[in-house]
A = this chain, B = another copy of it.
Amino acid sequence: MFNCQRDMVSGIANRFVEGGPAHVVTITDVAHEAGVSISTVSYVMSGKRAISPMTRERVERAIQSLGFSPHAGARSLASRSTNVIGLQAPLRTGVDVHVVMQVVTGVVTRARAHGYDILLLASDDSEALQRAANGSMVDALVVMDIESDDPRIETLSKLGHPSVLIGLPDGRRTLPCVDFDFEAAGWMAVDRLAGEGHRRLVLIGSPPEVMQRHTAYADRLARGFLAACQASGVIGSVHACPSDERAADVAREIVRSDPEASGFFIHNEGGLPHAAAAIVAARGDSRRPAVMALCPEDLARATPGLMDSIAIPAESMGAAATDMLCAILSEGATPTVRLLPPALTSISTVR
């Protein structure tokens, strides 16, 4: 009774407010409009109990006509779930923006399909994860750019919220992971280059700072590359490389100091066009090198002079991580490690 009165008053008051922000429609407004109780409205929305067709119809019409959308905060307070997934993406430089962006796209797209929104966390540290989880801002977390021995892993383990890593840490691996199979990519590149008859192969990898950070993927790529060289009986070497026009210098120096090297595999977004161009130029027309890249497909297409490339299925990685997370969230699926396989992409070479 008291409630009813209050609501009527506020309803009337709002109807006459001029110019102010539009009245925020609540579930109570919908219930009045439809002539039912608020619990019925709630159940129509959640589908958690049977509703007669007529009632449902009336409620849905009321929701429509009032333009009602439930208050997310109230909902999360009452239901203890937010329908939001937290995403920690590296926004610093030195990472491959293309790849990050595509992963984010994959995460956002799939999340939306599962009915989740994405909260983009501002910092890359453990604290941001705790804030989001303990503050009940999110139901679960996707964490990108995981390093070999990442402190965030322990934080996540004791958080009480499900999470998926994008990246493959060393060690106990107690959390679900999705990553690209960099090791397999190393093998694949070697197979391809050696198959073309090249006997001395060079991997031009991440910038020194990334190498030193012991970013798991750089190590795994090198490991796969070198192991495959050994297995194929060819000679392989690995070089760090800056991510800008200085890549050209590094590439020239490599060609100079190792003139027999004829197969190149570049994994370095920023340095890619420079290094590729420099290698081709330095060896001259008579000794054309084979240059492959590891990067998203569109970047490969945008780079002149590549033989072909191995695509990083970045969007698929984001999608896979999110799908896994949603499966855990809704069906209590068992967390696993998932490595997406490399795929050779042939490039329509520009003459």
Chain B nearest Cβ from A162, distance in angstroms:
10
Q: Kindly list chain B residues whose C-beta atoms are within 8 Å of the C-beta of A245.
A: 301-302, 304, 348, 350
| A243, CB-defined interface residue at 8 Å | yes
Pick out which of these stretches binds chain B: A33-41, A127-135, A193-201, A332-340: A127-135
Contact B75 A134 (CB under 8 A): no
For A132, list chain B residues within 8 Å (CB).
Answer: 117
> Using an 8 Å CB-CB cutoff, how does the interface string of A102-135 with B read, 1 for contact, 0 for none?
0011001101100001111111000000111011
Q: Is the CB of A72 within 8 A of B73?
A: yes
Q: Are A120 and B350 in contact (CB under 8 A)?
A: no
Which residue from chain B places its CB closest to the CB of A244 in the assembled complex?
B301
- Chain B contacts for A244, CB-based, 8 A: 298, 301-302
| A76: B residues at CB distance < 8 A | 71-73
Q: Is A12 an interface residue (CB 8 A)?
A: no
Q: Are B69 and A274 in contact (CB under 8 A)?
A: no
Which of B82, B122, B136, B248 interacts with A117 by CB under 8 Å? B122
Beta-carbon contacts under 8 Å, A132-163 to B: 132, 134-137, 158, 160-161
From residue 42 to 81 of chain A, which have CB atoms closer than 8 A to chain B? Answer: 67-77
In the bound complex, residues from chain B placing their C-beta under 8 Å from that of A302 are 243-245, 270-271, 273-274
A298 contact from B91, B123, B270, Cβ within 8 A: B270
Q: Is A210's CB within 8 Å of the partner chain B?
A: no
Which A223-240 residues have C-beta < 8 A from chain B? none
A83-110, CB < 8 A from B: 84, 87, 91, 93, 97-98, 100-101, 104-105, 108-109
A137 to chain B: which residues have CB within 8 Å?
Answer: 72, 117
Distance in angstroms from A257 CB to nearest chain B CB is 19
Q: Judge whether A24 is part of the interface by a CB distance below 8 angstroms.
A: yes
List residues of A whose CB falls within 8 A of some B CB.
Answer: 21-22, 24-25, 67-77, 82, 84, 87, 91, 93, 97-98, 100-101, 104-105, 108-109, 111-112, 117-123, 130-132, 134-137, 158, 160-161, 243-245, 248, 270-271, 273-274, 277, 298, 301-304, 348, 350
